[in-house]
Amino acid sequence: MLTRRGASKRASTLLTDRSRIDGHIRPLLVTMKVPAVTRQDVEGFMHDVAEGRTRQRVKLGKPRALSIVRGGKGAAARTVGLLGALFTYAVKKGMRPDNPVTGTVRYADGRRERRLTDVDYAALGKGLTAAAVIQPRSDDKPGKALVWPAAIAVTRFLALTGWRSGEALGLTWGMVDLARRTATLPMSKTGHSIRPLAVAACNVLRTMGAGNADALVFPPSRGKGTMSGFPSLFARIGKAGGLAPDVTPHVLRHSFASLGNDLGLTEATIGALVGHKGGGVTRGYIHAGDAVFPAADRIASATLRKMEGETGAEVLGVPSVMARRPA
């Protein structure tokens, strides 16, 4: 499948599309023929998803693994967007003359409106510290941190870089050049992307201990693949610090960009740091003297000060998981 720009969709995007098809579109529209769907049907579908009619919990193949479909206005708006793309394809294939989604007024999607307040930043910093404290055990076995150390480190990295969580969780050591303070992402959401890194972000990477080129920088506690349980681990970090429950990893990204705007940085510079399309993101080389590096440091330093209650800008040490990871 292709994006609107004609590029192939990433595997993660296809997985999300499939989830919306299976979770919302199939349950409500599967009995209807493609040519028979009207705009009124689309509007009714959107309202049903928004009101939670498709809410369900589905057991997956892995033990204790669940797929939770909640619905809501945000899910409704995004699923109608996907439905519009599907009907555009149907029109191109001559399956119907028009797109019934056209003209449908969707719910406003406020995912990007939330940003961290100073109180939120302080709570995040408190949660990161609390989550790393080794919890004692009643027996003679060594204690362990409340949260897997790599999850703590990647949360701090996201706050200091504004990256998408999938980009950080999929980061391998072969993509990182600490000497040049850059990371090269061959398959980001916007394509090939070279990201400048703040000194503070590089320090977080160093705490992880270098690995083989194909090894994940932020590995899961067990098994192979990326850290699939990161959302729940992030929630645990937030709870440890009293962070508002509506703060998600994406809020860290929006907050990073908003903080850069507060500091007077240009949209192009912020875009180069967080991987927005355009703004020099896909350049083949970033020179050491480029203005993006001081910009990255300014945002990261301001973030650290906020997370530590404006009292300092030191990166707190994170225990190396490479030495502690179970065999």
- Residue 325, pLDDT score: 44
The domain in which residue 223 lies consists of 118-324
In this structure, the answer to whether residues 145 and 84 fall within a common structural domain is no
Predicted model pTM: 0.69
Band of pLDDT at residue 323, cut at 50, 70 and 90 = very low
CA-CA distance, 165 to 171, in Å (whole number)? 10
Number of domains in the chain: 2
In this structure, the answer to whether residues 209 and 317 fall within a common structural domain is yes
- Residue 192, pLDDT score: 77
Tell me whether residue 23 is in a domain. yes
Tell me whether residue 152 is in a domain. yes
Does residue 174 have a pLDDT over 60?
yes
In this structure, the answer to whether residues 35 and 155 fall within a common structural domain is no
- Residue 236, pLDDT score: 95
In this structure, the answer to whether residues 82 and 127 fall within a common structural domain is no
Tell me whether residue 97 is in a domain. no
Tell me whether residue 268 is in a domain. yes
Band of pLDDT at residue 311, cut at 50, 70 and 90 = very low
Residue-wise pLDDT for 254-269, tens only, equals 999 999 999 999 888 9
Does residue 115 have a pLDDT over 60?
yes
Tell me whether residue 76 is in a domain. yes
In this structure, the answer to whether residues 194 and 290 fall within a common structural domain is yes
- Residue 284, pLDDT score: 44
Q: Which of 51-65, 214-228, 258-272, 292-306 has the lowest mean pLDDT?
A: 51-65
In this structure, the answer to whether residues 146 and 294 fall within a common structural domain is yes
CA-CA distance, 14 to 2, in Å (whole number)? 10
> DSSP per residue over 36-102, as a string?
G--HHHHHHHHHHHHTTTT-EEEE-SSTT-EEEE---HHHHHHHHHHHHHHHHHHHHTTS-SS-TTT
CA-CA distance, 252 to 3, in Å (whole number)? 26
In this structure, the answer to whether residues 186 and 48 fall within a common structural domain is no
- Residue 278, pLDDT score: 54
Tell me whether residue 87 is in a domain. yes
Does residue 226 have a pLDDT over 70?
yes
Band of pLDDT at residue 141, cut at 50, 70 and 90 = confident
In this structure, the answer to whether residues 139 and 264 fall within a common structural domain is yes
Start-to-end CA distance of the chain, whole Å, equals 38
Residue 249 belongs to domain with CATH number: 1.10.443.10
Tell me how long the chain is. Answer: 327
In this structure, the answer to whether residues 68 and 124 fall within a common structural domain is no
- Residue 313, pLDDT score: 39
> DSSP per residue over 160-187, as a string?
HH---HHHHHT-BGGGEETTTTEEEEEE
* 38 token code pair: 């009207």
Rounded mean pLDDT of 71-87? 90
**Does 136 or 72 have the greater pLDDT score?**
72
- Residue 163, pLDDT score: 96
Tell me whether residue 107 is in a domain. no
Residue that finishes a domain, picked among 54, 76, 92: 92
> DSSP per residue over 201-221, as a string?
HHHHHHHT----TTSBSS--S
Tell me whether residue 284 is in a domain. yes
In this structure, the answer to whether residues 61 and 172 fall within a common structural domain is no
Pick from 242, 19, 237, 257: which is nearest to 147 by CA?
237
Band of pLDDT at residue 66, cut at 50, 70 and 90 = low
In this structure, the answer to whether residues 189 and 227 fall within a common structural domain is yes
In this structure, the answer to whether residues 27 and 62 fall within a common structural domain is yes
